[in-house]
Structure 1
Amino acid sequence: MAEGRGEVAVRSFTGGAFAQNTYLVYCARTHAGILVDPGAATAQALQAARAAGVTIEQIVLTHAHLDHVEGIPVARAEIDAPILLHPDDMMLYGAAPTQASWFGMRMDPLPPVDGELAHGGVVSFGDCKMAVRLAPGHAPGHVILVGDGVAVVGDVIFNGSIGRTDLPGGDLGTLMTSIREQVLTLPDETTLHTGHGDDTTVGHERRTNPFVTGVYGGGGFA
């Protein structure tokens, strides 16, 4: 799927047992881009980047759960782009082989992280920028990337649901605060590119997401 809002274009690639969405985000004018959350569909994202003439300048992680990092070795075999992660998720990143073992998978240690993401910072590629917002609750160092009418939100919120909070470092109250302060403060027309499932918008989730409206646990705050 492709989404263009002004200068920022977003393409998603879904794969693996977790049906995780890997994103190729690029500046439509300069064709400089970033690879966000390289999961099982990383090879397809790289192929699409080559076909479109997109130069991937950075690998950006919304968080470090297994399904969002398992494609890093595939990416690094082709591109020498720095890996960026919020420091609060470094412990999860280092434990990726342990996470894999929980699901009967094997993973070698991942390459070192090259740079840190920080709340209020920006990720730049070509003429484009995306703002970094810290949104913990699903993972301690989870961030979302916001720019030009779109947001890549990882596993904070989904179309009709929210990220799970029963994994190490998860907390429901913290996640709901993140949704209220970092997602619902965006314009309603903002497209949300999620870590699993279909795209949605802030307005749609504000009106219909049962965790946001209070139909399910979390209290609601629409």
Structure 2
Amino acid sequence: MTESSLAVSVATGGAFAENGYLVRDSGAGVAILVDPGAGAPELLEALDARGDRLEAIVLTHAHVDHVEGIPAVRARHPDVPIHLHEADLPLYERAEAQAAAFGLQVDSLPRPTHRLEPGVPFALGGFDLDVRFTPGHAPGHVILVSEAAGFALVGDVVFLASIGRTDLPGGHLPSLMTSIREQVLTLPDDMRLLPGHGPETTVGHERRHNPFLVPQYRGHFA
């Protein structure tokens, strides 16, 4: 596997402008969808255009904006596995209630088929994505890290100049800050962070400039 064989595409959509990702190993001709929200149809078009085989849906967590595109994906790929950390299964099962709380609707979701296990790499073609447990925004939140390719899919843990909200059910600010300190800021400074909302950033940029993390801005750590 070479770095050039690994590619990531993003599609943004929905009421919360959620970022869904298509991650593909072009050398092996396989791909996964990470957090397919309202932008799922665009991701499916990109998948079809390249002719890769979809191997899995992988969820960083189960808030409704990150899962609402799953029915569209399953309509085209009815047998594709769905991977989720078990601690977020209650959120996943309440997706319709989550949507209703924001005045939205979501189609009924198929049940997840596989559990994501922190510390057990997720294999795709010729590379592995490290699964790191990062609760705080959601009880079963994980991030997916490719140190070889230099990117991390961080869901709603950290954003450009911000962090994930913790006022939703299952949120816990001290846990989120611990997750960022132990699982994100321990990555190399040049690691690309691909978040669930907004533009990408890097570990080093957030270490130096994120007002929630930098002590001189009353953050918790540098």
Same fold (TM over 0.5): yes
Residue equivalent to 1:134: 133
Give the 3-state SS of the residue equivalent to 2:46 in structure 1.
helix
Whether 1:115 and 2:114 are equivalent positions in the alignment is yes
Residue equivalent to 2:92: 93
Residue equivalent to 1:188: 189
Report Cα offsets for 1:125-158 as digits up to 9, x if no partner.
1112101000000000000000121100000000
Report Cα offsets for 1:40-94 as digits up to 9, x if no partner.
0000000001101221100000000000000000000011210000000000000
**CA shift at 1:5, angstroms?**
4.3
**Does the C-alpha gap of structure 1 residues 113 and 216 become closer, same or farther in structure 2, counting only changes over 3 Å?**
farther
- Measure, in 2, the Cα distance between the counterparts of 1:196 and 1:137: 17
AA of the residue aligned to 2:81: P
AA of the residue aligned to 1:17: A
Report Cα offsets for 1:21-56 as digits up to 9, x if no partner.
010001131121110001000000000011012211
Aligned length: 218
Whether 1:74 and 2:72 are equivalent positions in the alignment is yes
**CA shift at 1:97, angstroms?**
0.6
Alpha carbons 2:71, 2:108 under 8 Å: kept: no
**Structure 2, unaligned stretches of length 5 or more?**
none
Give the 3-state SS of the residue equivalent to 1:107 in structure 2.
coil
Give the 3-state SS of the residue equivalent to 1:212 in structure 2.
coil
Alpha carbons 1:94, 1:109 under 8 Å: kept: no
Alpha carbons 2:152, 2:193 under 8 Å: kept: yes
Residue equivalent to 2:60: 62
- Measure, in 2, the Cα distance between the counterparts of 1:108 and 1:42: 14
Residue equivalent to 1:221: 221
- Measure, in 1, the Cα distance between the counterparts of 2:45 and 2:173: 37
List structure 1 runs of 4+ shifted beyond 4 angstroms: none
Give the 3-state SS of the residue equivalent to 2:212 in structure 1.
helix
- Measure, in 1, the Cα distance between the counterparts of 2:26 and 2:154: 20
**CA shift at 1:172, angstroms?**
0.7
AA of the residue aligned to 1:35: L
**CA shift at 1:216, angstroms?**
5.2
RMSD of the TM alignment (CA)?
1.3
Give the 3-state SS of the residue equivalent to 1:211 in structure 2.
coil
Alpha carbons 2:44, 2:73 under 8 Å: kept: yes
TM-score normalised by length of structure 2: 0.95
Alpha carbons 2:71, 2:107 under 8 Å: kept: no
- Measure, in 1, the Cα distance between the counterparts of 2:3 and 2:11: 19
**Structure 1, unaligned stretches of length 5 or more?**
none
TM-score normalised by length of structure 1: 0.95
- Mapping of 1:36-47 within 5 angstroms? 36-47=34-45
AA of the residue aligned to 1:144: I
- Measure, in 1, the Cα distance between the counterparts of 2:213 and 2:68: 30
Alpha carbons 1:72, 1:110 under 8 Å: kept: yes
